[in-house]
Amino acid sequence: MRRRLLQLLGVAALLATVTVLLQLTAVPVRGQASDATPWGHPNLEGIWLDVYSTPLERDPAIGEREFATDEERAARNQAALARPPILPSGAYNTVYTSARPAGPRTSLVVDPPNGRIPALTPEQVRRNEIEQEWRVMLLRNTETCRSQAPQCAGGEYGPPSPRRYETTPYYNTRGRMNRHDGPEDQSLGDRCMSGRTPDLNGFRRIVQGENSVAIAYDTGQGQGFQRMVNLSGDHPPSNIRLRHGDSRGRWEGDTLVIETTNFSHKFPYQGAAENRRLVERYTRVDDETLDYEMTIEDPTVWVAPWTIRQELKRQSDQQNRIYYEPRCHEGNYGLPALLLGYRLDDQAFAEGRGPDPASFSIYDADRLQR
């Protein structure tokens, strides 16, 4: 009897031990990460997305009110659903795009308190004027200027300007110009290069290492990118410039703080290029939520820094398992074909078989406003 009792107690102890071990080693559901990494850092791993649509800047009529009313959110939702099912240009329509529900905030910008990006410096205002003057000059001999369309504001109709063949006085990043001499005349989107830092719209896949953090962005129809955040070391010398800057991170309690500098002038954000500095903060709120805050400054562009805030929600690892590398193929094929087409137009004009390509306008084709 005693031997039988000892056997039962041994089996019970074994079952209890196995149960505890299974609890400790169980795989979290839905790809959830544990609370800490093996090296003791807060676990931020996963795929994260701002599931709401929120204006970058606040409507001035709202003042300093940070959160929207139910009526305001309903109106924003209705406006999003009222988009035409087929776009006039024949490009991507509502079949291929989604409309996120209106978020609780009245703007992503939370500082300044009015939810507005600070005023531009006189230096940046002048840069914008130079760029606009150049763009309007390229439209001079087109229907756009002859009809005094909005895109020709400040310009006049006349023969092509001799400046048309000069080098652009700035590196084009804003959008298509009315000239197609090379890739730099096109938009970054045409060139599959529209992804830039910071990105506030796309998915973010965070993978952590002991001494670094990788953040993959999927944004802009496959025009995503990878960022590496080093958790040690200093920024490189100022003569080293990178498309997404140099990111250095540190932990302040449970918050990952990332400082990014050394940006290239060829990939600006809101006009801020090589002089911009970002400070980002990621904080795990719960299993499903990351709090994200970003402050950007560039004293050559804005008179003061400004800050945005987002609440990022975890996305399913299973449903997004194949999206590890963004792909943008349209520009790889479309851009060479576009440039070839314009070279054929040049040849036809030179041989007296077609109109002057300088009279074409990216805004005039079939009266489309793109």
How high is the pLDDT of residue 325? 66
How high is the pLDDT of residue 324? 63
With contact defined as beta carbons under 8 Å apart, do 269 and 196 qualify?
Answer: yes
How high is the pLDDT of residue 188? 85
**Alpha carbons within 13 A on the beta-carbon side of 217:** 21
Give the burial class of 286: count Cβ atoms within 10 A of its Cβ; 0-12 exposed, 13-18 middle, 19 or more buried: exposed
- pLDDT, one tens digit for every residue, the chain (370 residues): 445 444 544 544 444 444 433 343 333 333 444 589 999 999 999 999 999 999 999 999 999 999 999 999 999 998 887 776 665 555 566 666 677 899 999 999 999 999 999 999 999 999 999 999 999 999 999 999 999 999 999 999 999 999 999 999 888 888 889 999 998 999 888 888 888 899 998 889 999 999 999 999 987 777 888 999 999 999 999 999 999 999 999 999 999 999 999 999 988 999 999 999 999 999 999 999 999 999 999 999 999 999 999 999 999 888 776 666 667 777 777 888 889 999 999 999 999 999 999 999 988 755 433 3
CA distance 180 to 363: 14
> What stretch(es) of the chain map to CATH 2.40.128?
203-315
How high is the pLDDT of residue 222? 76
How high is the pLDDT of residue 88? 55
CA distance 83 to 93: 9
* Pairing between β-strand 306-315 and β-strand 46-49 as defined by DSSP bridges: antiparallel
CA distance 325 to 203: 12
How high is the pLDDT of residue 97? 67
With contact defined as beta carbons under 8 Å apart, do 104 and 68 qualify?
Answer: yes
Strand, coil or helix: what is 311?
strand
Q: From the options 1.20.81, 2.60.40, 2.40.128, 1.10.10, give the CATH code of 203-315.
A: 2.40.128
Give me the amino acid identity at 175: G
The predicted model scores a pTM of: 0.83
With contact defined as beta carbons under 8 Å apart, do 168 and 1 qualify?
Answer: no
CA distance 253 to 40: 11
Residue 49 tokens, joined: 């997305």
What secondary structure letter does DSSP report for 164?
G
How high is the pLDDT of residue 23? 40
